[in-house]
C-alpha cells in the first residue's frame, strides 16, 4: 500500500514513518545516528548495496535474541528498537575491531587517507586498541591495468564494488572468491584486471570505502613532465571537473570553480591551459555531420555516441556484433590531443614530439583509453597522461596553492574558446542535446530559438524523446549506467529499437558521477548538484551551440576543411574491434 | 504403461505389489506363523514342494496375516515333511507327513476355518520353537 | 505374479556398499542360482538399516534373521546353511555385548528397541529402485488423497495441526512455512528439497534418498500442491552419487506412473522435479545460500527478510524443506495429525533421525521419538561407551552444536531443550566423546571446520571465527592466558548475536558450551599448561612412574634426544627441558612406567 505509515519506537521515542523504510531510514529520520559501512544507497541513481555484511549497524529489536542490521531490516508496526544499548555498542565496536585486525595500518601513507570510510568509522567509535590480533590477508597487488589498482589486503568485503559491477553496470567482472577468512573480491580465477573485460568505468573505485580499489596514480608522471625543460606541457580539463573540484577544497557541492582551476593549473606550471570543451565542440561538428550523413544516406541507425571510453569498451566486449553502431568519432579529449599535436603545433610552431598533453578527467577509463593504439597518431599517443579530478586536487595541495584564494583566470587560445553545448557533455543527456542543437539548425536551416531540450534532461536511467525536425520525428534514446545501456543494446539487437540516435554514458549521472571524481561517500545529492552546476554554466555562456564556436570555425576553415571530410576522418575518427568476453 | 489416474487405480497396483511385500512384515506378533522343517531329511521327503504349495495357497487366498518360515530339523524324521502352525495365543500344532495336498488342506481348514486336521497331528503339547 | 518364499534384503546404502555390498549381492545371487533356488529366493537391495557400525548387513525374511558384518565369501555358507537347511549361521548373528548372547532378530536388539521409524520407515524394508514396493507400502496414497480429496488450505491445515517442524536445523513449523508461501500470490512458485547435508558425519538425508527416494518426491508433490507450485528442485551435493542415481531412477518411475508430470491423478495439478547439484559447501544448507547456489551464484546467504517464501528462487515465492521433513509428510497425511502428535514431546512432535557417532559401541543411523533422553540414546541404543571408557561429553547439532556433560544426559531431546542447555538439534549429528578427548581440542577442531566453511560474507563469522580459532590454537600450544578465556567468551557471544546467518550464529557454540561446562579443563591448559586428556601434544609431559620403573633402560635407548638417564635396575629420569614429547619412550616401555 502506498503512503502507508508505520509507528515504531527508537531509543524510547515514538516515530511514524513510511512502511517501506528500513530501520536505518527510520533512525535517520528520528535523528538517531547509526554508523554504517557496507551500506550504500544512491537513491536517484538507483544503486543500493544492502548486503548487510559488515555488521556495523547492528541494533537491538525487542523480542529478538539476536541483533539486527539496521540497513537491511524492514520496519514493522510497533517495533521497539534500541541503538544505544551496551550489547549493540559492543557488537558494533567489535565488528570494527575485527575488520581492523585484518587491515593494514599504513593509514598515513594510504591513498585514501582521510577519505577512508573505515578510518572515519574507527575514529567515530574511538577505537584505541585492536584486541583480537592474528593472521592478516596477504594478497598480491593487482597493478596490471592502466586504470585501477586492486589491493585486496584493504578490502573489507562490503561488496559495493560487486553491486556496482554486476547489478548497475552488468559487467560481471568482480565477484567474491575463496571462502572463509580467505574470501576476497576479484575477477573469475583471480585473473589480472588487464586480462578481463573490465571497462574501467571506475564505479567500483567510486564506491569503495577503503583503498582496496583506487585509480592508478599518474601524478608523478605529470610532475616529471612539468619539470622537463624540453617538454611543452599543455593541459586540458573535462567539463565535469569544474563543477566538482571545489568539493576537495571544502566548497559546497555544485560550486563552479572554472576560473580558479585555470589559475591553479597555470601556477602548477603548465605551458598552456586549454579546455576539453573545445574538443567537445569539435566532436559535435563531426558527430552531428555523421548523424546527418547516416540519416540521409541510409547509414546504420541508430547511431550511438562514442565519447565514453568505458562504454566503447563495453560494446566491444559485450556486444561485439554491434561495433558498427557507435559513431566513429574519437572522444573529445583524444580529438583535442590530436589537434594540439597537429594544428596547434603548426600554429605555435612547436615540434609535436616535444608536446606533452595532460588530460584532467573525471574518469579512470580515460587512462586506459589514452593507451589505445588505434587512437595514436604516428605511433605517438595523442594524449600522454591522464589524471583524475582527485589527482589534480592532490597536486594543487602538494604545490601549496591556496585554491580558495585564487583569482579567476581564462583558458588559453587558440584552443580555449568553448560553448554551452560542450559544457553539458559532462552530464547524462548533454552530448545528445549538444548534437541536436547543431543538427537541428543544419537540417532545417532555421535558427533554433530555444536551445534547451528539456525532454532530454533528467536522472532516469533510460530516457527517450522525440524531436521533430523538418516534419520528421527524430527518436532519441538516452541511457546512463551500463546496465541501462545493455537494455538499450538488447533492444537494438532484437530490432525492437526504433531510435535514430542514442547517447550512452557508462557512469550513473554521466561524467559528473565518474570514477575519478571526488568521492560522494554515498550521497547522491552531490552528483545532482554537479549536474545543476553544469546547466548553470551552459546558461551563462554567450555561445551555446558548437558550430558557432569561432575558433572551431577557424580550425575547419584554415586546417581541417569540411567536417567529416578527408582530413577530419584521418585525424578525428577511429574504429572499434570485437573483443572476447572474459 | 498408462499413468495412474485415480486412487482406485493406485490401490489396485498396491494390492498386487503387497503380496510380494507381506513376507517382509514379520515383526508383528499377531500373525499366524507356519514353520516348515527344511533340514536335509525334510527336503528329501518333499518339504520344499510342500513349502511352495503352502506359499502359493496363501497367495491365492490373499491371506495377509500368515507367513511361512523354513526351519531346521524338528526331530520327527519319520514323519517328514513336518509343518508347525503357531496361532498367536494358542498352543502350537505339529502336523506330520504333510504332502502337497495336506499342505493345502492346512491352509483351507486350520488357518481359514480354525478346524484342526486331527488325523495328521503329531503332537500339540511342546514348547514353541 | 511369481511369489518368492524368501527375501534376502541386502543393505545398499553408501556405507555397506563401500564394503563390498555389491559383491555380496552378486555372490548371493550366484550361490542361489547354483542351488537352483532362484525362483524361490529373491535378493533385494534396500536402503540403510542404520546399524552401520556392524555393516554390511543382510536380513533374511520371513525368518527375520539379521546378519551383520557379512562378506562376499559368506554368501556360500548363508545359502547352504540358512536357505537350504534352515539353520542360522551363528557367527554372523549380532552378539549383544552386555549379555553375550547372539540375537537373531532386529527387534530384540537394543539398538533397535527404542527406535520409532517414520522418516526411515521404508529404509531397509523396500527396494528403493522399485516403485511397486513403495506403492505396496502405501506409497503415493497420500498424494492421491491430497489431490483428489483435499483443498490446498486443508493440506496446509493438516500439516500445521501435526506440528511438524523443520528437520534441517531451524525447527520452523513446516505447515506455517507452507502457508506463508501459499499466501504469497505469484504466477510462479517453487518448492525445493534441501539435500545439502553438510554436517560432518551426518547422513540421514542421504540415507533417506538412497533408501526411500519416492517418499521425498511424493511429499514434494504434496507440498507443491499445497503452496501452489508446479516446479520442484532437489538441491543435492554432487558427492552423493548413489542418492542422485536412486533419485533419478525414482523420478523416471514416478513419471512413468504419472505421479510427476501433467494432470497428476487426473487432476489439473502439474508438477515436475529437477535435480540441482551443489558443490558441497556447508553453508549451502542455509536456504538463502542454497537458492543463490541454485541460481548459479556464490553459495552465500542473504539477509532475511525477505524470506524465500516471499522472494526466493529467481525472486519467486519458494518453499525450502529438508529431506527428512519431507519423508514425514506422507504418513502424516495418511495417518493424520493426531497419530503424529502422540509421538514426541510437548513442543516437538514426531521423531528425529540422528547420526550417532564417536565413542559409542553402536555407531549408526537411528530414528527416535522426540523427548527421549540423551542417556537413552547413548547408553541404550548406542550401547554405551566403547572399550569401557568413561563418558565425557556429547555434541549434538553438527559442527556448530554445543558439547553437553554427563549431568545433562537426562534432558529430553527436543528443539527447545537442546537450545536451552547450549546446544541445538541441528540436522541431527550426535557425537559422543570419552575421557580421552580434550574439550579444548574438540572446540578447536570444530572452529577449524566453521572457519573453513564460512562463506566469508559477514565480518563476525569471517574474521571472528578465525580469531576464535587462533586463540584456541594458542591455548592448545600452551601459550594461552586467562585473559584468552575471557576474550573467547566475549568474542563468541558477539559472533552469536551479530552474524548474518545460522552458520555464524551457531559457530561459537562448541567454544561457548565447552567453556561453560569444562572451564576447569581450559584453566588447566592456560594456568598449569597441562592437557588432562593428554591430547594436546605441546602440553604433554612424559614422566617416569617410579613404582613401575624397573630400570630396564629401554626408554633411554629409544629416546631420540637422549634426555632419559638412569642406571640399570634403578629408576630412570626424564629431563623435561630437553624432552620433545615424541612418546617413543612410552611406546617402548613394557612396564607401564611412563605417563603423559
Residue A1 has pLDDT above 60, yes or no: no
Q: Average pLDDT, stretch A375-400?
A: 92
Give the closest of B26, B40, B56 to C64, CB-based.
B26
In terms of phi and psi (left: phi > 0; alpha: psi -120 to 50; beta: otherwise), the region of C568 is beta
Q: Which of A53, A139, A157, A187 would you mutate first to test chain C, the one with the most C CBs within 10 A? A: A53
Residue position matching grid coordinates 503415493: C140
| Chain A interface includes C447 (CB < 8 A) | no
Torsion of CA A13, A19, A24, A27, to 10 degrees: -20
Residue A192 has pLDDT above 50, yes or no: yes
A41-50, A506-515, C101-110: the lowest-pLDDT one: C101-110
**Please, what is the end-to-end C-alpha distance for chain A in angstroms?**
43
Identify the pLDDT of residue A77: 94
pLDDT band at B28 (very low <50, low <70, confident <90, very high): low
Q: Is the bond preceding C3 in cis, omega lying within 30 degrees of 0?
A: no
- Is-above-0.80 flag for pTM? yes
A290 in active site: yes
Cβ contacts of B23 on chain C, cutoff 8 Å: 4-7, 61-62
CA distance C250 to chain B (A): 15
Give the closest of C457, C459, C491 to A99, CB-based.
C459
A329 in active site: no
Give the closest of B3, B10, B69 to C62, CB-based.
B69
Please tell me which residue of chain B has the smallest CA distance to C42: B20
Please tell me which residue of chain B has the smallest CA distance to C258: B3
pLDDT band at A547 (very low <50, low <70, confident <90, very high): very high
pLDDT band at B129 (very low <50, low <70, confident <90, very high): very low
| Chain C interface includes B27 (CB < 8 A) | yes
- Contacts of residue A82, defined as CB under 8 A and 6 or more positions apart, other chains included, come to A10, A11, A59, A60, A62, A88
**Cα distance between residue C26 and residue C75, in whole Å:** 9
Q: Residue C333's closest CA among C491, C509, C174?
A: C174
Chains C/A: 3 or more C-beta pairs closer than 8 A?
Answer: yes
A554 in active site: no
List all chains that touch chain C, counting a touch as 3 or more CB pairs closer than 8 Å: A, B
Q: Which residues of C540-566 are buried (b: 16+ CB within 10 A; e: fewer)?
A: bebebeeeebebbbbbbeebeeebbeb
C265 with B6: Cβ contact below 8 A: yes
**Cα distance between residue A497 and residue A129, in whole Å:** 59
Please tell me which residue of chain B has the smallest CA distance to C8: B24
Identify the pLDDT of residue A442: 92
A204 in active site: no
pLDDT band at B29 (very low <50, low <70, confident <90, very high): low
**Cα distance between residue A214 and residue A223, in whole Å:** 20
Which 3 state secondary structure label does DSSP give C62? Answer: coil
Residue B126 has pLDDT above 80, yes or no: no
pLDDT band at A471 (very low <50, low <70, confident <90, very high): confident
B5 with C63: Cβ contact below 8 A: no
B20 with C132: Cβ contact below 8 A: yes
B6 with C62: Cβ contact below 8 A: no
Identify the pLDDT of residue C141: 95
A176 with C453: Cβ contact below 8 A: no
Low-confidence stretches of chain C (pLDDT beneath 50): 1
What values do phi and psi take at A51, rounded to 5? -75, -20
Identify the pLDDT of residue B128: 44
**Cα distance between residue C30 and residue A487, in whole Å:** 66
Q: Out of A71, A208, A307, A329, which one is annotated catalytic?
A: A307
CA distance C209 to chain A (A): 29
A532 in active site: no
Residue B125 has pLDDT above 70, yes or no: no
Chains C/B: 3 or more C-beta pairs closer than 8 A?
Answer: yes
Classify domain B27-123 at the CATH class level. alpha beta
The DSSP element (H or E) to which A42 belongs, if any, is strand A40-42
Rounded to the nearest 5 degrees, what angle is found at the Cα of A292, between the Cα atoms of A290 and A295? 110
**Cα distance between residue A243 and residue A255, in whole Å:** 6
A53 with C458: Cβ contact below 8 A: yes
List all chains that touch chain A, counting a touch as 3 or more CB pairs closer than 8 Å: C
A511 in active site: yes
List C-alpha distances in Å: C467 to A101, C283, C444. Answer: 9, 19, 11
Query: Do A280 and A336 form a contact (C-beta atoms < 8 A)?
Result: no
C window 9-38, beta carbon within 8 A of B: 9
A162-181 tens-digit pLDDT: 999 999 999 999 999 999 99
Residue position matching grid coordinates 573483443: A579
Query: Do A246 and A255 form a contact (C-beta atoms < 8 A)?
Result: yes
Identify the pLDDT of residue A87: 95
Give the closest of C1, C148, C256 to B1, CB-based.
C256
Amino acid at each position: 500500500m502506498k503512503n502507508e505509515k508505520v509507528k515504531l519506537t527508537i531509543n524510547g521515542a515514538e516515530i511514524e514513518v513510511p512502511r517501506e523504510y528500513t530501520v536505518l531510514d527510520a533512525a535517520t529520520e528520528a535523528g538517531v545516528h547509526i554508523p554504517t559501512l557496507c551500506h550504500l544507497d544512491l537513491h536517484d541513481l538507483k544503486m543500493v548495496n544492502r548486503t548487510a555484511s559488515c555488521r556495523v549497524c547492528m541494533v537491538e529489536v525487542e523480542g529478538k535474541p539476536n541483533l539486527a542490521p539496521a540497513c537491511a531490516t524492514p520496519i514493522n508496526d510497533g517495533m521497539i528498537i534500541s541503538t544505544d544499548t551496551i550489547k549493540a555498542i559492543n557488537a558494533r565496536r567489535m565488528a570494527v575491531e575485527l575488520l581492523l585486525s585484518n587491515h593494514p595500518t599504513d593509514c598515513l601513507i594510504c591513498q585514501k587517507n582521510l577519505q577512508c570510510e573505515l578510518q572515519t568509522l574507527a575514529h567515530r567509535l574511538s577505537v584505541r586498541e585492536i584486541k583480537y590480533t592474528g593472521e592478516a590477508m596477504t594478497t598480491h597487488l593487482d597493478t596490471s591495468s592502466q586504470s585501477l589498482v586492486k589491493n585486496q589486503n584493504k578490502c573489507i568485503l562490503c561488496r559495493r564494488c560487486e553491486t556496482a559491477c554486476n547489478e548497475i553496470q552488468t559487467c560481471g567482472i568482480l565477484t567474491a572468491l575463496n571462502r572463509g577468512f580467505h574470501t576476497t573480491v576479484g575477477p573469475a580465477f583471480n585473473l589480472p584486471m588487464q586480462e578481463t573485460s573490465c571497462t574501467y568505468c571506475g564505479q567500483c573505485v567510486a564506491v569503495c570505502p577503503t583503498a582496496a580499489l583506487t585509480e592508478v596514480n599518474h601524478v608523478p608522471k605529470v610532475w616529471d613532465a612539468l619539470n622537463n625543460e624540453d617538454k611543452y606541457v599543455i593541459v586540458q580539463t573535462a567539463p565535469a571537473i569544474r563543477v566538482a573540484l571545489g568539493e576537495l577544497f571544502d566548497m559546497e557541492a555544485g560550486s563552479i570553480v572554472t576560473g580558479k582551476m585555470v589559475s591553479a593549473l597555470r601556477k602548477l606550471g603548465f605551458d598552456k591551459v586549454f579546455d576539453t570543451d573545445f574538443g567537445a565542440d569539435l566532436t559535435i561538428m563531426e558527430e552531428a555531420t555523421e548523424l546527418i550523413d547516416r540519416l540521409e544516406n541510409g547509414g546504420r541507425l541508430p547511431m550511438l555516441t562514442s565519447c565514453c571510453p568505458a562504454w566503447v569498451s563495453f560494446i566491444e566486449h559485450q556486444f561485439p556484433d554491434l561495433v558498427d553502431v557507435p559513431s566513429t568519432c574519437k572522444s573529445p579529449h583524444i580529438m583535442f590531443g590530436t589537434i594540439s599535436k597537429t594544428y596547434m603545433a603548426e600554429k605555435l610552431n612547436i615540434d609535436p614530439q616535444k608536446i606533452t598533453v595532460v588530460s584532467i578527467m573525471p574518469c579512470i577509463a580515460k587512462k586506459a583509453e589514452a593507451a589505445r593504439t588505434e587512437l595514436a597518431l604516428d605511433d605517438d599517443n595523442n594524449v600522454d597522461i591522464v589524471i583524475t579530478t582527485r589527482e589534480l586536487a592532490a597536486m594543487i595541495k602538494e604545490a601549496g596553492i591556496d585554491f580558495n584564494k585564487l583569482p579567476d583566470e581564462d583558458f588559453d587560445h587558440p584552443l580555449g574558446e568553448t560553448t554551452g553545448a560542450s559544457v553539458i557533455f559532462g552530464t547524462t543527456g548533454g552530448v545528445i542535446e549538444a548534437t541536436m542543437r547543431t543538427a537541428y539548425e543544419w537540417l532545417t536551416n532555421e535558427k533554433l530559438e530555444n536551445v534547451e531540450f528539456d525532454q532530454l534532461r533528467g536522472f532516469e536511467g533510460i530516457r527517450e524523446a522525440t524531436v521533430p525536425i523538418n516534419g520528421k520525428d527524430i527518436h532519441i534514446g538516452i541511457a546512463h549506467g551500463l546496465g541501462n545501456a545493455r537494455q538499450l543494446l538488447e533492444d537494438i539487437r532484437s530490432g525492437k529499437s526504433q531510435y535514430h540516435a542514442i547517447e550512452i554514458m557508462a557512469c550513473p549521472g554521466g561524467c559528473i558521477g565518474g570514477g575519478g571524481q571526488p568521492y560522494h561517500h554515498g550521497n547522491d545529492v552531490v552528483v545532482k548538484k554537479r549536474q545543476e552546476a553544469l546547466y548553470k554554466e551552459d546558461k551563462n555562456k554567450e555561445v551555446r551551440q558548437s558550430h558557432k564556436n569561432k575558433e572551431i570555425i577557424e580550425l575547419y576553415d584554415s586546417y581541417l576543411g569540411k567536417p567529416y571530410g578527408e582530413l577530419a576522418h584521418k585525424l578525428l575518427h577511429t574504429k572499434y574491434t570485437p573483443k572476447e568476453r572474459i | 504403461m498408462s499413468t495412474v489416474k485415480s486412487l482406485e487405480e493406485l490401490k489396485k497396483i498396491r494390492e498386487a505389489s503387497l503380496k510380494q511385500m507381506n513376507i517382509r512384515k514379520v515383526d508383528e506378533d499377531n500373525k499366524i506363523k507356519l514353520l516348515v522343517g527344511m533340514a536335509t531329511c525334510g527336503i528329501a521327503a518333499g518339504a520344499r514342494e510342500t513349502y511352495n504349495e503352502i506359499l502359493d495357497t496363501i497367495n491365492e487366498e490373499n491371506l495377509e496375516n500368515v507367513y511361512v518360515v523354513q526351519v531346521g530339523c524338528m526331530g520327527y524324521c519319520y514323519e517328514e515333511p513336518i509343518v508347525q502352525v503357531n496361532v498367536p495365543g494358542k498352543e502350537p500344532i505339529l502336523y506330520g507327513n504333510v504332502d502337497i495336498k495336506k499342505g493345502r488342506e492346512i491352509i483351507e481348514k486350520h488357518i481359514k476355518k480354525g478346524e484342526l486336521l486331527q488325523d495328521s497331528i503329531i503332537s500339540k503339547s511342546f514348547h514353541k520353537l | 505374479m511369481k511369489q518368492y518364499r524368501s527375501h534376502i534384503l541386502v543393505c545398499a546404502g553408501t556405507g555397506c556398499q563401500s564394503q563390498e555390498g555389491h559383491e555380496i549381492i552378486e555372490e548371493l545371487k550366484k550361490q542361489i542360482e547354483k542351488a537352483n533356488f532362484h525362483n524361490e529366493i529373491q535378493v533385494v537391495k534396500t536402503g540403510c538399516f542404520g546399524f552401520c557400525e556392524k555393516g554390511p548387513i543382510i536380513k533374511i525374511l520371513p525368518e527375520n534373521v539379521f546378519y551383520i558384518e557379512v562378506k562376499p565369501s559368506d554368501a556360500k555358507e548363508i545359502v547352504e546353511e540358512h536357505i537350504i537347511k534352515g539353520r542360522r549361521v551363528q557367527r554372523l548373528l549380532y552378539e549383544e555385548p552386555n549379555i553375550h548372547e547372539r540375537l537373531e532378530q532386529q527387534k530384540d536388539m537394543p539398538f533397535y528397541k527404542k527406535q520409532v521409524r517414520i522418516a526411515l520407515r521404508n529404509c531397509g524394508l523396500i527396494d528403493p529402485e522399485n516403485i511397486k514396493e513403495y506403492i505396496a507400502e502405501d506409497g503415493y496414497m497420500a498424494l492421491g488423497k491430497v489431490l483428489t480429496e483435499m483443498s490446498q488450505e486443508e493440506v496446509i491445515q493438516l500439516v500445521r495441526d501435526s506440528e511438524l517442524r523443520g528437520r534441517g536445523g531451524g525447527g520452523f513449523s513446516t505447515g506455517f512455512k507452507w502457508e506463508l508461501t501459499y499466501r504469497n500470490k505469484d504466477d510462479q512458485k517453487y518448492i525445493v528439497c534441501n539435500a545439502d547435508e553438510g554436517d560432518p558425519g551426518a547422513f540421514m538425508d542421504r540415507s533417506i534418498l538412497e533408501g526411500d527416494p519416492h517418499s521425498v518426491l511424493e511429499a514434494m508433490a504434496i507440498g507443491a500442491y499445497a503452496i501452489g507450485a508446479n516446479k520442484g528442485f532437489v538441491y543435492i551435493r554432487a558427492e552423493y552419487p548413489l542418492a542422485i542415481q536412486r533419485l533419478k531412477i525414482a523420478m523416471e518411475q514416478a513419471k512413468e506412473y504419472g505421479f510427476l508430470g501433467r494432470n497428476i491423478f487426473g487432476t489439473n495439478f502439474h508438477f515436475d522435479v529437477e535435480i540441482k547439484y551443489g558443490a558441497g559447501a556447508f553453508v549451502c544448507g542455509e536456504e538463502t545460500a542454497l537458492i543463490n547456489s541454485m541460481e548459479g551464484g556464490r553459495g552465500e546467504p542473504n539477509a532475511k527478510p525477505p524470506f524465500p517464501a516471499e522472494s526466493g528462487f529467481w525472486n519467486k515465492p519458494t518453499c525450502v524443506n529438508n529431506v527428512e521433513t519431507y519423508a514425514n509428510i506422507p504418513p502424516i497425511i495418511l495417518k493424520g495429525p493426531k497419530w503424529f502428535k502422540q509421538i514426541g514431546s510437548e513442543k516437538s512432535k514426531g521423531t528425529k533421525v540422528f547420526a550417532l557417532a564417536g565413542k559409542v559401541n553402536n555407531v549408526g543411523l537411528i530414528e527416535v521419538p522426540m523427548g527421549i533422553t540423551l542417556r537413552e540414546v547413548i547408553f541404550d541404543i548406542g550401547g554405551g561407551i566403547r572399550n569401557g571408557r568413561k563418558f565425557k561429553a556429547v555434541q549434538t547439532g553438527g559442527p556448530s552444536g554445543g558439547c553437553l556433560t554427563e549431568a545433562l544426559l537426562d534432558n529430553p531431546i527436543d528443539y527447545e531443550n537442546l537450545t536451552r542447555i547450549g546446544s541445538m538439534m541441528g540436522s541431527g549429528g550426535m557425537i559422543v566423546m570419552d575421557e580421552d578427548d580434550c574439550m579444548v581440542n574438540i572446540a578447536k577442531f570444530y572452529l577449524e571446520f566453521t572457519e573453513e566453511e564460512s562463506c566469508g560474507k559477514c565480518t563476525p563469522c569471517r574474521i571472528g571465527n578465525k580469531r576464535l580459532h587462533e586463540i584456541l590454537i594458542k591455548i592448545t600450544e600452551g601459550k594461552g592466558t586467562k585473559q584468552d578465556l575471557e576474550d573467547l567468551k566475549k568474542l563468541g557471544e558477539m559472533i552469536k548475536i551479530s552474524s548474518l546467518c545460522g552458520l555464524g550464529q551457531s559457530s561459537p557454540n562448541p567454544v561457548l558450551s565447552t567453556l561453560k561446562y569444562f572451564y576447569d579443563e581450559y584453566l588447566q591448559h592456560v594456568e598449569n599448561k597441562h592437557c588432562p586428556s593428554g591430547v594436546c601434544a605441546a602440553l604433554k609431559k612424559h614422566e617416569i612412574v617410579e613404582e613401575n620403573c624397573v630400570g630396564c633402560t629401554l626408554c633411554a635407548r629409544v629416546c631420540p634426544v637422549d634426555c632419559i638417564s638412569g642406571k640399570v635396575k634403578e629408576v630412570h629420569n626424564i629431563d623435561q627441558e630437553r624432552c620433545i614429547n615424541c612418546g617413543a619412550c612410552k611406546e617402548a616401555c613394557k612396564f607401564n612406567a611412563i605417563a603423559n
